[in-house]
């Protein structure tokens, strides 16, 4: 399963960043990348996210993205590194967790795939600054 998730995610590399979009090659944000990979690997999405703004759930301080991940994915220890895992990041120490990525390579040269504003879907090194922002790690369901 994990190899299928990584292969699907890598197929999105080069997709432009478009807020709320989830169309490979046309546009995606980080949630859209997860949604697209889910469709490719598991089939129909388990729920449709509501329309959201760039400051999604920040004013209320609600961990909406984290709660949604807990409804559909299996939580793991954040240091249980494995390719194909979904990573949830808190971009500011006082903000809600609202950036997602998919672990690709592991070990000394760890990478993750994510849709990043101004860059599109890219595979980035999972460097120390990114690692510090990880607040949760999830495993995709097997689909079986």
What are the residues facing 89 on neighbouring strands? 99, 134
What are the residues facing 99 on neighbouring strands? 89
Q: Higher pLDDT residue, 136 or 51? A: 136
d(CA 128, CA 138): 19
pLDDT of residue 60: 67
Q: Is the pLDDT of residue 143 over 80?
A: no
pTM of the shown model: 0.93
Element (H, E) at 9: helix 2-10
| 17 DSSP assignment | B
Q: Binning pLDDT at 50, 70 and 90, where does residue 62 land? A: confident
Give the residue-averaged pLDDT of 14-35: 97
Kindly report, residue by residue over 67-97, the tens digit of the pLDDT.
Answer: 999 999 999 999 889 999 999 999 888 888 9
Can you give the residue ranges of every domain in the chain? 2-46+66-139
pLDDT of residue 19: 94
pLDDT of residue 58: 62
Element (H, E) at 124: strand 120-125
Q: By the 8 A CB rule, do 45 and 32 touch?
A: no
Helices (H), 11-90: 30-42, 64-72
pLDDT of residue 94: 84
pLDDT of residue 93: 85
Fold of 2-46+66-139: endopeptidase fold (from Nostoc punctiforme) (3.90.1720)
pLDDT of residue 103: 97
| Burial of 128 from C-beta contacts in 10 A (0-12 / 13-18 / 19+) | exposed
Give the residue-averaged pLDDT of 28-37: 97
């Amino acid at each position: 399963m994990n190899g299928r998730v990584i292969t699907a995610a890598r197929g999105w590399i080069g997709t432009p960043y478009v807020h709320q979009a989830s169309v490979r090659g046309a546009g995606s944000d980080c949630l859209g990348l997860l949604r697209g990979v889910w469709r490719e690997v598991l089939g129909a999405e388990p729920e449709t996210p509501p329309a959201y703004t760039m400051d999604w759930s920040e004013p209320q301080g609600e961990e909406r993205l984290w709660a949604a991940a807990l409804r559909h994915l299996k939580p793991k220890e954040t240091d249980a590194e494995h390719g194909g895992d979904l990573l949830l990041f808190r971009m500011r120490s006082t903000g809600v967790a609202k950036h997602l990525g998919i672990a690709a390579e592991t070990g000394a040269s760890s990478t993750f795939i994510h849709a990043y504003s101004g860059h599109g879907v890219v595979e980035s090194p999972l460097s120390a600054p990114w690692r510090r922002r990880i607040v949760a790690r999830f495993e995709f369901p097997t689909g079986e």
